[in-house]
Amino acid sequence: MALKLRIMDTIRAESKLFGFQTIGTPALEYADTLLGIGEETDKQSYRFQDHGGRDVGLRFDLTVPFARFVAEHQNELLFPFKKLQMGEVWRGENTQKGRYREFAQCDLDIIGTDHELADSEILALFARILTKLHFGSFTMAVGSRPVLTGMVRKILGIQGDGSEGKISTALISIDKLAKIGEERVISLLVEQTGSSPQACARLIAILSAKDPSGATDLEPIKLLFADDPKLTESLTSLQKIVDGARMGAFGDQQHRDQSQRPTLKIDLSVARGLGYYTGVVFETTIDGLPGFGSVCSGGRYDDLVRRFTDRELPGVGGSIGLDRLVAALEELGLGSVATNPPVFIALVSPAANLYGLSVASHIRAAGFTCEVGFAPKLGAQLKHANRLGVRWAVILGEDEAASATLTLKDLSTGEQWLGISQDQLMTRLCVKSVDP
Amino acid sequence: MALKLRIMDTIRAESKLFGFQTIGTPALEYADTLLGIGEETDKQSYRFQDHGGRDVGLRFDLTVPFARFVAEHQNELLFPFKKLQMGEVWRGENTQKGRYREFAQCDLDIIGTDHELADSEILALFARILTKLHFGSFTMAVGSRPVLTGMVRKILGIQGDGSEGKISTALISIDKLAKIGEERVISLLVEQTGSSPQACARLIAILSAKDPSGATDLEPIKLLFADDPKLTESLTSLQKIVDGARMGAFGDQQHRDQSQRPTLKIDLSVARGLGYYTGVVFETTIDGLPGFGSVCSGGRYDDLVRRFTDRELPGVGGSIGLDRLVAALEELGLGSVATNPPVFIALVSPAANLYGLSVASHIRAAGFTCEVGFAPKLGAQLKHANRLGVRWAVILGEDEAASATLTLKDLSTGEQWLGISQDQLMTRLCVKSVDP
């Protein structure tokens, strides 16, 4: 929980710098709102009737409640609206390591603009958040739905009736490239689209060709699109978005240690399964956890809110799986949250209790965590302090209360000082807490 | 949401200073865990069968999940265990102003000790939190179950078979004193206990007698308990707990403005309806909102965890209704969260986009919120900036990008400066943001 709170605090702080506002929506929504998005989500939704006989369900993501929220509050919201939403979602599926039936998501969206600067800002914000979480290096791979769709159409020669369905299926297969490999994706494409094995192999070869930085080699695609101004524009736009994202995330400064610099690159094989993306799509992997999968993904969508309102509200956004991030940080051995150990007040006489509480209030007022011992004997209190990882124990009895002084003990060395004043204690804490 | 987050941040920060740890438990629990606490809660629980045919329900408070959590993790937890838990709870009842079917609670507990210093610390922590929320003055009224029970027994002469039930009923009636008045409580007591009207009137007279500070006048009660060392001890303990709480919350310093000092007082008429309290009980009202009711209440309990384990784990704790606090702050006109308005970057040429994103990243790195304009025209961007409450707009076009300078506009005065460097902007922001 400490780790999850640290992640959530980091997300809030960075989002605030980008001008995002936090919203909250209830866990329970009307079943009508939740259902009908897809067969899988319908099946996985927790649904029941409430005490008033209404069909309700627990949200299975934050996207649908957000769309409902935007439609409902469209006259009060100032567009483009930038929102942060964090909360639990529920899915009735089998659990796996790091995947639970109840888990926390974090969504960041800019809605009400189709400007490519918004795409850059979303990518930059996610990159900032992941940088601030100190995972080590990570890779954000950014693709483009129109570019990829254009390539699939041109190279596989898909046209006419039923081409939309074929292309969707092809995208889902291309999305599996990293998981199942080129050979199997090519067979799937041949089977699904009816295109020639040569054409399918060529598509996959172009998608897999990388320049020295690991990004998709764009030269063959530029050639392919040379006679198509619209697709050329989509490709140029993608490049601008990624250049802007890099600038927004890291400024114009060279990272001192190139190996620690997160990678933000164009990878046209990023397809993303979900149907609603219409522009950039991205996913993010942690370089130190190659098999872990994406920790943060999203893209541009044009009609997410259309289910609830006629108003056109294009947007761009993405999700971080908070519980997955916790699992990732733990797997990297970065799971412990450093906190200053508390100061412990051991009370050896009931006559010192009031004095002890007053000392505790001063220590806390100075910003230090302070624990008060509740056991009757000093030994038991110091044992508890040791278990809490305490270094500084303040021991107070009748004498200390009478003279308004403290006995201070360094539990790490056993050293002890008598007759310390409260001011001397504060000085000691301020100096010692910044010790290496 | 901004207000709720500010309250939650304050609670976390203060609790940390007292050595509390945050825990989280799922929203869904097995029905077996949730049910059987009381008829009312059983009736109000949202229950259903999950996809595996298990009977589950949404938690109706944080207390039952906490008890289950403690029993389950008793071998890993270090007792006394101090915990903070914040989260939503669900109750299928009729909604009222500030009362929803889904609402957020905050529970603070110290479990695994019966030491009266723990009672003082819990009261002090709640008083610190409410002080830090800047409600103006508030009153924490602290009673004692054993003292009140002793008074009811002695004055009403309740003894023998069935006395427990009579006393519980009497406590529930006494709890209504502030709401329904002395006369009606006396009639209820006569009816419920079969005691004489004179005895019931005497009990209520003693409970209602206050000293000049507004606290219960303890002198008649000391006389009443003179021949009973156990009850005398309970009364002395209550005094020590409240004295300790005051010291823990406010230290030994005199408040400069006595009228702003929160009141922490003994009020023996505080009974609290819930059956499980066994020691101190408290509730808190905001002086500026006399009809609002208690915003924070709790007490000592001895066998909350007994349902789930044989181990004896006495504790003390309380709850803050987060959504009720939000409603209270709004009613007091304290609902707006002050934030520094963002710096706005207006981009007047696509050639300045990358430069603009780099400037944005520098402004954010300095800790200032920065918004980037997404509209194509300057006018639309500045209109949006005005709506956001922006004072400083940075306007960037081709010239600025080429010379790496900024045009800065003060939207509050219309003044504009050309050729500003990024360093000059930072200086301006740092100086102007602390302006009165």
Token couple for A353: 């209790």
Give per-residue pLDDT as tens, A155-176. Answer: 999 988 788 889 989 999 999 9
Are A358 and B252 a contacting pair at CB < 8 A?
yes
Give the chain B residue nearest A29 (alpha carbons).
B102
Token couple for A366: 């100075």
Give the chain A residue nearest B52 (alpha carbons).
A92
Beta bridge partners of B283: B141, B297
Q: Residue B254 has what pLDDT?
A: 54
What is the rounded CA–CA span in Å between residue B180 and residue A385?
A: 48
pLDDT band at A341 (very low <50, low <70, confident <90, very high): confident
pLDDT band at A185 (very low <50, low <70, confident <90, very high): very high
Choose the closest CB to B88 out of A23, A27, A361: A27
Question: What number of other Cβ atoms are within 10 A of residue B345's Cβ?
Answer: 25
Between the CA of residue A150 and those of A141, A171, A229, A234, what are the distances in Å?
19, 11, 12, 10
What is the rounded CA–CA span in Å between residue B379 and residue B308?
A: 65
Q: With 0-12 CB in 10 A as exposed, 13-18 as middle and 19+ as buried, what is B163?
A: middle
- Tokens 């784990």 — which residue? B313
* Sheet containing A343-347: order of strands: A370-372, A343-347, A392-396, A406-410, A416-420
Between the CA of residue B400 and those of A177, A244, B365, B415, B422, what are the distances in Å?
44, 17, 21, 18, 11
Phi, psi of A114 (to 5 degrees): -110, 15
Closest CA to A243 of B396, B342, B358: B358
What is the rounded CA–CA span in Å between residue B330 and residue B324?
A: 10
Are A354 and B23 a contacting pair at CB < 8 A?
no
Give the chain A residue nearest B24 (alpha carbons).
A1
Are A102 and B368 a contacting pair at CB < 8 A?
no
Distance of CA A10 to the CA centre of its chain: 10
Q: Residue B435 has what pLDDT?
A: 45
What is the rounded CA–CA span in Å between residue B356 and residue A122?
A: 15
**Of A259 and A345, the one with more pLDDT:** A345
- Tokens 């209109």 — which residue? B383
Average pLDDT, chain A: 91
Are A369 and B248 a contacting pair at CB < 8 A?
no
What is the rounded CA–CA span in Å between residue B125 and residue B108?
A: 9
pLDDT band at A12 (very low <50, low <70, confident <90, very high): very high
With a cut of 80, say whether residue A349 has pLDDT above it: yes
Are A353 and B244 a contacting pair at CB < 8 A?
yes
What is the rounded CA–CA span in Å between residue A113 and residue A279?
A: 13
**Three-class SS state of A194:** coil
Please give the average per-residue pLDDT across A108-118, as a whole number. Answer: 96
- Decide: A128 and A249 in contact? Cβ < 8 Å: yes
Token couple for B14: 């203060």
Give the helix ranges, DSSP H, for A52-196. Answer: 63-72, 116-132, 145-156, 163-174, 177-180, 182-193
What is the rounded CA–CA span in Å between residue B130 and residue B126?
A: 6
- DSSP β-ladder status, B392-396 and A138-144: unpaired
- Give the distance from residue B274's alpha carbon to the nearest chain A alpha carbon, in angstroms: 24
Task: State which H helix or E strand residue A345 sits in.
Answer: strand A343-347
Between the CA of residue B272 and those of A177, A363, A405, B60, B128, what are the distances in Å?
63, 33, 40, 18, 22
Amino acid in the structure at residue B340: N
* Sheet containing B416-420: order of strands: B370-372, B343-347, B392-396, B406-410, B416-420
With a cut of 50, say whether residue A183 has pLDDT above it: yes
What is the rounded CA–CA span in Å between residue B228 and residue B221?
A: 11
Residues shown for chain A: 436
Q: Residue A213 has what pLDDT?
A: 84
**Of B332 and A335, the one with more pLDDT:** B332
Phi, psi of B53 (to 5 degrees): 75, 15
What is the rounded CA–CA span in Å between residue B113 and residue B120?
A: 12
Are B387 and A250 a contacting pair at CB < 8 A?
no
**Of A339 and B406, the one with more pLDDT:** B406
Phi, psi of A264 (to 5 degrees): -120, 105
**Of A304 and A223, the one with more pLDDT:** A223
- Give the distance from residue B375's alpha carbon to the nearest chain A alpha carbon, in angstroms: 7
Are B115 and A244 a contacting pair at CB < 8 A?
no
Q: Residue A220 has what pLDDT?
A: 93
Choose the closest CB to A361 out of B249, B357, B374: B249
- Give the distance from residue B213's alpha carbon to the nearest chain A alpha carbon, in angstroms: 21
Task: State which H helix or E strand residue B226 sits in.
Answer: none
**Of A251 and B418, the one with more pLDDT:** B418
Token couple for B276: 């499980």
- Decide: A247 and B358 in contact? Cβ < 8 Å: yes
- DSSP β-ladder status, A55-58 and A28-30: antiparallel
Choose the closest CB to B28 out of A24, A102, A388: A102
The CA dihedral of A143, A148, A151, A152, to the nearest 10 degrees, is 140
pTM, rounded to two decimals: 0.92
Choose the closest CB to A252 out of B118, B342, B358: B358
What is the rounded CA–CA span in Å between residue B21 and residue B109?
A: 10
Between the CA of residue A208 and those of A174, A180, A267, B165, what are the distances in Å?
11, 13, 9, 78
Choose the closest CB to A46 out of B50, B248, B353: B50
Please give the average per-residue pLDDT across A174-193, as a whole number. Answer: 93
Q: What is the C-alpha radius of gyration for chain B, rounded to an integer number of angstroms? A: 28
What is the rounded CA–CA span in Å between residue B194 and residue B206?
A: 19
What is the rounded CA–CA span in Å between residue B292 and residue B279?
A: 26
Amino acid in the structure at residue A79: F
Pick from B237, B357, B368, B371 the residue to mutate for testing the A interface (most A CBs within 10 Å): B357
Helices vs. strands in chain B: H and E counts, helices first: 17, 16
Query: Which residues does chain A have within 8 Å of residue B44's beta carbon, measured at their own beta carbons?
Result: 51
Phi, psi of A144 (to 5 degrees): -145, 125
Give the chain B residue nearest A373 (alpha carbons).
B117
The fraction of chain A above a pLDDT of 70, given in percent, is 96
With a cut of 50, say whether residue A434 has pLDDT above it: no
- Decide: B296 and B284 in contact? Cβ < 8 Å: yes
Q: Residue B357 has what pLDDT?
A: 95
Give the chain B residue nearest A112 (alpha carbons).
B374
Are A50 and B92 a contacting pair at CB < 8 A?
yes
Q: Residue B178 has what pLDDT?
A: 86
- Decide: B161 and B285 in contact? Cβ < 8 Å: no
Between the CA of residue A408 and those of A355, A376, B335, what are the distances in Å?
15, 19, 44
- Decide: A207 and A149 in contact? Cβ < 8 Å: no
What is the rounded CA–CA span in Å between residue B67 and residue B256?
A: 42
Produce one character per residue of B398-431: b if its CB has 16 or more CB atoms within 10 Å, e if not: eebbeeebbbbbebeeeeeeeebebeebeebbee
Please list the pLDDT of chain B residue by residue as tens digits (436 residues). Answer: 999 999 999 999 999 999 999 999 999 999 999 988 778 888 889 999 998 899 999 999 999 999 999 999 999 999 999 999 999 999 988 877 667 899 999 999 999 999 999 999 999 999 999 999 988 889 999 999 999 999 999 999 998 878 888 998 999 999 899 889 999 999 999 999 999 999 999 999 999 999 988 899 999 999 999 999 999 999 999 999 999 999 999 887 655 555 557 889 999 999 887 678 999 999 999 999 988 889 999 999 988 888 899 999 999 999 999 999 999 999 998 887 777 789 999 999 999 999 999 999 999 998 999 999 998 899 999 999 999 999 999 999 999 999 999 999 999 999 999 999 999 999 888 875 544 3
Sign of CA dihedral A40, A43, A45, A50: positive
What is the rounded CA–CA span in Å between residue B51 and residue A136?
A: 39
Give the chain B residue nearest A27 (alpha carbons).
B102
With a cut of 70, say whether residue A264 has pLDDT above it: yes
Please give the average per-residue pLDDT across A83-93, as a whole number. Answer: 94
With a cut of 80, say whether residue A260 has pLDDT above it: no
Give the chain B residue nearest A242 (alpha carbons).
B354
DSSP A263-330: EEEE-TT---S-TTEEEEEEEEEETT-TTS--SEEEEEES-SSTTT-SS---EEEEEEEHHHHHHHHH
What is the rounded CA–CA span in Å between residue B69 and residue A124?
A: 39
Q: Count of CB contacts below 8 A, A vs B?
A: 179
Amino acid in the structure at residue B433: S
Are A371 and B78 a contacting pair at CB < 8 A?
no
Task: State which H helix or E strand residue A104 sits in.
Answer: strand A102-111
What is the rounded CA–CA span in Å between residue A264 and residue A143?
A: 11
Choose the closest CB to B371 out of A19, A367, A371: A19
Please give the average per-residue pLDDT across A136-163, as a whole number. Answer: 92
Give per-residue pLDDT as tens, A353-410. Answer: 999 999 999 999 989 999 999 988 999 999 999 999 999 999 999 999 999 999 999 9
What is the rounded CA–CA span in Å between residue B289 and residue B332?
A: 8
